[in-house]
Amino acid sequence: MITKIIALLLILLLPYSCHAGVLSSPYPADIIVLPNDGQKPILELIQNATESVWMCSYELSDKKIVSSLCTAKQCGVDVRVMLEGKPYGTSTVNTESANKLIGAGIAFSWSNPQFTITNANYIIIDHRKIVLLTLDLTEESLTQYRGYGIFISDPKVVREAEAVFIADWQKKEYAPACPSMLISPDNSRQKLLEIISNAKKKIWIQTHLLQDEEIIGCLIGAKRRGVNIKIILAESIPIVKGINLKTQKYLSTQGINVKLQRTPYPHGIMMLIDEKIALVGSQGLDTQSLNDYREMGVVITHPAAIKRLKGMFSYN
């Protein structure tokens, strides 16, 4: 009788614990490292599409990628592209790319204005596969920045990305449901805090910006639990350099090792937990990225992917 009651309680509680927690995708994942691997794997993904290519990016200017999208459209593929309408500064690359895409008959939309900016960078292929990138699709980003991409066919991840894409395309609200994905501004903060809090031995982080006080406090808490923490932050851009330098100095007083990296300039986030779990996404660890921006990341456990990410972190 007691056994039956326990089993019933587990069944009742399981959906809630899964919904509240962060569950890593168990599916195989291929990793690309930028600028090392270049845009070839991304081009091949688009070129091999037979049904659909849905793309969201902060900026798009890479000529080969734009050309591949136009060719896919000519081959009868359902191509949809969504870009940030107001990128930082006076950049006109998105307007120029939008004109080319629309001229080729490609369905186009500006991103959802309810977010300060849309910084999520992902491509969904044939409703079955997604590449989720830490950086945007400009020639500068792909050739000069340190970034990562995850190619994954997990149906839950693909469905979630498609649901986000459709909601943002239609300028509607959406409540994320996939436990292995981090979607800003909805759940990235909560899940990042949980990931850091659950670390047992190691936390390795590479990101362009670390400024959020709650995240910093959680990292300090992990350090005090005995977790080995290594952090790589961007050094190049003046405003980021000043913030990250301040963070570096403060965390050094807490015994946390922080390195400022000039080249390749890191963008987005790559996080390794206990060498068993990895997070890759467009997020920065700053308050705006977590609270105001549209960002997207995924948590994985695939050993081969973890191994390559670990190797690249050590190389950096």
Per-residue tokens: 9: 């309680």
Range of the domain at 78: 29-180
Q: What confidence category does residue 13 fall into, taking pLDDT thresholds of 50, 70 and 90?
A: very low
Q: And the tokens for 266?
A: 């890191």
Same domain, 168 and 34: yes
Strand partners, 133: 121, 149
Using one digit for the tens of pLDDT, what is the confidence trace for 42-60?
999 999 999 999 999 999 9
Q: Does residue 229 share a domain with residue 310?
A: yes
Shared domain for 151 and 281, answered yes or no, is: no
Average pLDDT of the residues in 229-237:
91
Say whether both 142 and 206 belong to one domain: no
Of 278, 277, 281, 207, give the one whose Cα is nearest residue 248. Answer: 207
Residues 176, 189: one domain?
no
Question: Based on the domain organization, do 242 and 310 belong to the same domain?
Answer: yes
Pairwise CA distance, residues 53 & 37, whole Å: 21
Sequence-ordered list of residues with C-beta below 8 angstroms from that of 1, at least 6 positions apart, any chain: none
Q: What does residue 26 show for φ and ψ, rounded to 5 degrees?
A: -85, -5
Q: What is the pLDDT of residues 107-117, one digit of tens each?
A: 999 999 999 99
* Residue 280 neighbours by CB distance under 10 Å: 27
Q: Is 183 exposed, middle or buried (0-12, 13-18, 19+ CB in 10 A)?
A: buried
Domain stop point among 180, 209, 228: 180
In a domain, 18, yes or no: no
Q: Is residue 275 part of a domain?
A: yes
Please check whether residues 193 and 165 belong to one and the same domain.
no
CATH number of the domain where residue 192 is located: 3.30.870.10
Same domain, 52 and 157: yes
Give yes or no: residues 136 and 221 share one domain.
no
Give the model's pLDDT for residue 288. 96
Which of 122, 146, 180 is at the close of a domain?
Answer: 180
Lowest mean pLDDT: which of 29-38, 89-98, 147-156, 292-301?
89-98
209: in domain = yes
Q: Is 210 a member of any domain? A: yes
> Is residue 71 situated within a structural domain?
yes
Residue at which a domain ends, from 154, 180, 206: 180
- Identify which of 135, 184, 171 has the alpha carbon closest to the alpha carbon of residue 37: 135
Whether 50 and 146 share a structural domain: yes
Compute the average pLDDT of residues 93-99.
96
197 in the same domain as 152: no
Based on the number of CB atoms within 10 Å of its own CB, is 91 exposed (0-12), middle (13-18) or buried (19 or more)? Answer: middle
Q: Are residue 195 and residue 305 in the same domain, yes or no?
A: yes
pLDDT of residue 316: 67
Handedness of CA 182, 24, 190, 259 (dihedral sign): negative
Are the CB atoms for 99 and 66 separated by under 8 Å?
Answer: no
Total structural domains within the chain: 2
* Residue 236 covered by a domain: yes
Res 149 pLDDT > 90: yes
Phi-psi domain of 266 (left: phi exceeds 0; alpha: psi -120 through 50; beta: other): beta
Q: What is the DSSP string of the chain?
A: -HHHHHHHHHHHHHHHHHHHS---B-S-EEEEEETTTTTHHHHHHHHT-SSEEEEEES-B--HHHHHHHHHHHHTT-EEEEEE-SS-STT--HHHHHHHHHHHTT-EEEEPPTTSS-B--EEEEETTTEEEEESS-BSHHHHHHEEEEEEEE--HHHHHHHHHHHHHHHTT-------TTEEEETTTHHHHHHHHHHT-SSEEEEEES-B--HHHHHHHHHHHHTT-EEEEEEE-SSHHHHHHHHHHHHHHHTTT-EEEEE-SSEE-SEEEEETTTEEEEES--BSHHHHHTSBEEEEEE--HHHHHHHHHHHHH-
Please, what is the average pLDDT of the chain? 91
9 inside domain:
no
| Averaged pLDDT for residues 250-254 | 97
pTM above 0.75, yes or no: yes
Q: Which two tokens stand for residue 257?
A: 């090792």
